[in-house]
Chain A
């Protein structure tokens, strides 16, 4: 039962990635080849199941190809934030009072800005592109993960097994990587999963504003921007990229939520009770509600 649920989660998480990887095989047409005669064909047109855009390019093909930069911008920053946030959180949790205060107050400064505004501000300072989107979102997401990692590290800081590990003569890196990280990883990863949906929406937002991937490369947010003028004449066409963004972010939010409820990552299943891990992930993330995964669904 547990295995089935986990398998379902993994399959669900990998499905959009698989579609992105298989885009060349699945896309019925060249995503960049436009036929002006076929401009703005509605979904269901012969040869163009989802219609065409304002330059006559096949929308299905473009949406499939767009999954590559869009998912990269959604998944990579979360991975970066999980890693960097975990290490910062552990450093703050294990370090002395000065280290803790310096790290936490610096993160608080980043917290003071709404996530979207901060992402826009950072991205606008950089050359538009996938790289700057990933960087901007990584910076936005890291403080939240660091908070969760800090809370968890503080919880186990005085644990007897850490004292015993210290007495055994372990170096600090060994202590962090081999004793602390395995314990906090389930909670941090569970929380990070719930940020993927948010990151996808943020990334689409950045490219919608022209701060992300440059045209003509297909990207969901940029495609939404391109089809915006057609919203009153061909509403279904304009809705296509929006629906994809909605579907994918809801998918990842649901998966993240399921994992949070079950507290089930491999280490968590090994480490403690599921219910504990789940409530800890929720409790730990609560005060840092600022990049709220719920925003993604709004």
Chain B
């Protein structure tokens, strides 16, 4: 299923915020049609990696290449074909859509940026809405008139509008309730199988990505501490930090993991939210 060529490649990428390193020497690869998860707690640098991959930020060191091009240097008009193949689904349902634009206008904006003529836009918006499981009539709604799950579906529709080869999702499910979360993941899985789109999926929740991602990278304090096949990481986490993340995913997960019996807590920051959190979340069934 995976083509051998890397679609997106980060090579020893680093980024600091006013002297404080946020991302330190991260390398990763996403191949066509592959879903790669990047997990870590808040502040681990995963959102920064997502923005570096998208070209929204320039790395201080290392190199980012999407289809062999540096995404931060793509020009709006001349490189829009390449630009359209690398898309983004942001984290917050309320923040990911412009409050002053109707849902259809948000998708239409992306179509317009890619030179789709006005006459064809309305039809394409309708198609895209159906594709993400939304009634086309919702295109006339404003963001405040839509639910969180609907908003994220619009954000997915906007990302799909330009025919992407890779979609970077920055915790697209974290603000949703478990049921809506699961349905959005099902949608992304279905779209990947149907269109062969690759995903770089950023999340703090290992359980949320376990069913979705082929490979997983665990990020801590800006460094990749563990990576590999998602199933392997899920079943036999090697790094104590990964074990703690898994333990935080839910009590049933912790039970499955005998080695996660309290040791990880000794190695965590006292304010690490994941160590103490025991609230159940949606695990794989």
Contacts and interface: CB of A to CB of B under 8 A. Distances in A.
B77 A171 contact: yes
Contacts of B109: 165, 168, 170, 174, 178-179
Contacts of B155: 164
Given A168-B113, A183-B99, A163 B88 contact: yes
Nearest to A268: B100
A272 B101 contact: no
Given A163-B88, A163-B90, A168-B158, A174 B97 contact: no
Interface stretch (B79-87, B184-192, B225-233): B79-87
Interface string B5-26: 0000000000000000000000
Nearest to A164: B88
Contacts of A178: 101, 109
Task: Identify whether the interface residues of A are mostly helix, strand, loop, or mixed.
Answer: helix
B98 interface: yes
Nearest to B96: A160
Given A161-B106, A164-B155, A170 B113 contact: yes
Given A161-B95, A163-B88, A163-B90, A168 B100 contact: no
A270 interface: yes
Interface of A: 159-172, 174, 178-179, 182-183, 185-186, 267, 270-272
Contact of A168 (B77, B91, B96, B161): B161
B54 interface: yes
Nearest to B82: A169
22 contacts: A159-B98, A160-B95, A160-B96, A161-B96, A161-B98, A163-B88, A164-B89, A164-B90, A167-B54, A168-B161, A169-B76, A169-B77, A170-B109, A171-B76, A171-B77, A174-B109, A179-B98, A179-B101, A182-B101, A186-B100, A271-B99, A271-B142
Interface string B21-65: 000000000000000000000000000000100111000000000
B122 interface: no
Contacts of A179: 98, 101, 109
A169 B158 contact: no
A203 B145 CA distance: 44
B83 A183 contact: no
Contacts of A164: 88-90, 96, 155, 158-159
Contacts of B54: 163, 167
Nearest to A160: B90
A179 B108 CA distance: 12
Given A167-B87, A178-B109, A182-B101, 4 more contacts: A160-B90, A167-B88, A171-B77, A182-B100
Nearest to A162: B98
Contacts of B100: 182-183, 185-186, 267, 270-271
Interface string B184-226: 0000000000000000000000000000000000000000000
Interface in B102-134: 106, 109-110, 112-114
A163 B56 contact: yes
A171 B101 CA distance: 18
Contacts of B84: 168-169
B17 to A, nearest CB: 13
A270 B161 contact: no
B162 interface: yes
Nearest to A182: B100
A283 B79 CA distance: 40
A174 to B, nearest CB: 6
Candidate in A162, A168, A186, A270 with the most chain B CB atoms within 10 angstroms: A168
B142 A167 contact: no
Contact of B90 (A161, A174, A185): A161
Given A168-B113, A272-B144, A160 B76 contact: no
Contacts of B80: 169
A167 B83 contact: yes
B92 interface: yes
A171 B74 CA distance: 11
A159 B109 CA distance: 16
A194 B55 CA distance: 41
A169 B113 contact: yes
Contacts of B55: 167
A168 B79 CA distance: 11
Nearest to A181: B100
Listed residue (A169, A170, A172, A186) with the most chain B CB atoms within 10 angstroms of its CB: A169
Nearest to A267: B100
Contacts of B88: 163-164, 167
Contacts of A272: 99, 144
Contacts of B142: 270-271
